[in-house]
Copies of this chain bind each other. A is one copy, B any other.
């Protein structure tokens, strides 16, 4: 009876899942076709087998199979800079006519002269000014429309592809493979929560309620009888570094058993995940493929990977070489 019930549930997980999962699940001989044979692939498959095997001491009930994924540099690219920053810069250009004062005011003055490097020289403060000027002051519905319109036309400066096509095929397979095995997949990113939610379901199969990110405060108001949430000029939460375990606790309320990142910004999330006593899977995507993608780590201003790379071996974190472990990077590249 129990065996039958489990089989029925597994069957249901496959049948009721989005069509690409079904396609994947049919190819049961290789659940991760874009991953080369090697230790990273083996570590993932062994972990999933272990925690899903009923009766095994390492068995984890489906409700506790929580997997968290960083976004920038882990699920989609982050070079030459975070894609959300391209959005913000495009918005500065679009909004400039309403802000004549920007011509004299940094970081906007440099941006309007297309000198991004000088604009960002002001560091976090400059970044925050740009984000606030472009992400606040409208309702959540208005913001949604602005992001959707941008996504429909914006192109990555190097590949000329829409940003939502700059996603990593092996990670799409990993997301689907985990879900087919009863995992609930979450995004835990420093990116804006309301920015990511607009495309994460379509692109990754991750619904809005499973997206965790940085946020600004919102305020409920009734305007002409219609309730709205207004995006305020006030930071609410930065979902990066030590903020990630905090965001995980606040949104999920239980500790993940699997975590996937690519930078030192993910260190605490991996640390938090692996400090549990049962089996854990932690994985770092290492950007070492300058030919098919970008090669960067210790010195990159975006996605700096230094301490986590040094400590990965002693902490039992698997480092994935994009060059050696992945047959292809993007869905539109030939394997």
CA gap between A271 and B209 in the complex, in Å: 20
- Contact of B15 with A227 in the complex, beta carbons under 8 Å: no
- Contact of A5 with B16 in the complex, beta carbons under 8 Å: yes
Nearest CB on B from A214, distance (A)? 12
- Contact of B5 with A15 in the complex, beta carbons under 8 Å: yes
Knowing that A220-B268, A227-B272 touch, tell me 16 more A-B residue pairs with CB under 8 angstroms: A5-B16, A8-B11, A8-B16, A9-B15, A208-B252, A208-B253, A208-B254, A209-B210, A209-B253, A209-B254, A218-B250, A219-B242, A220-B243, A220-B245, A222-B271, A229-B246
CA gap between A242 and B230 in the complex, in Å: 12
CA gap between A278 and B319 in the complex, in Å: 47
Residue of chain B at shortest CB distance from A241: B220
Judged by a CB distance under 8 angstroms, whether A49 is at the interface is no
Residue of chain B at shortest CB distance from A250: B215
Interface residues as binary, A233-272 with B (CB distance below 8 Å gives 1, 0 otherwise): 0001000001101100111111000000000000010011
Judged by a CB distance under 8 angstroms, whether A129 is at the interface is no
Among listed A100-108, A193-201, A293-301, interface-contacting one: A193-201
Query: Which chain B positions have C-beta within 8 A of A184?
Result: 209
- Contact of B12 with A207 in the complex, beta carbons under 8 Å: no
30 residue pairs from A and B, CB less than 8 Å apart = A5-B15, A5-B16, A8-B15, A9-B12, A12-B12, A12-B15, A12-B16, A66-B209, A184-B209, A193-B250, A193-B253, A208-B253, A208-B254, A211-B253, A215-B250, A218-B246, A218-B249, A218-B250, A220-B242, A220-B243, A220-B245, A220-B246, A220-B272, A222-B271, A226-B275, A227-B245, A227-B271, A227-B275, A229-B249, A236-B250
With a 10 A CB-CB cut-off, give which of A8, A11, A63, A227 has the most chain B CB atoms: A227
- Contact of A249 with B140 in the complex, beta carbons under 8 Å: yes
CA gap between A70 and B103 in the complex, in Å: 49
The tally of residues in A whose CB lies under 8 Å from a CB in B reads 44
Interface residues as binary, A23-67 with B (CB distance below 8 Å gives 1, 0 otherwise): 000000000000000000000000000000000000000010010
**Interface set of A (CB-CB < 8 Å, partner B):** 5, 8-9, 11-13, 15-16, 63, 66, 140, 184, 193-194, 197, 201, 207-211, 215, 218-220, 222, 226-227, 229, 236, 242-243, 245-246, 249-254, 268, 271-272, 275
From B201, B236, B253, give the contact of A197 (CB < 8 A).
B253
Nearest CB on B from A135, distance (A)? 15
Query: Which chain B positions have C-beta within 8 A of A275?
Result: 226-227
Query: Which chain B positions have C-beta within 8 A of A66?
Result: 209
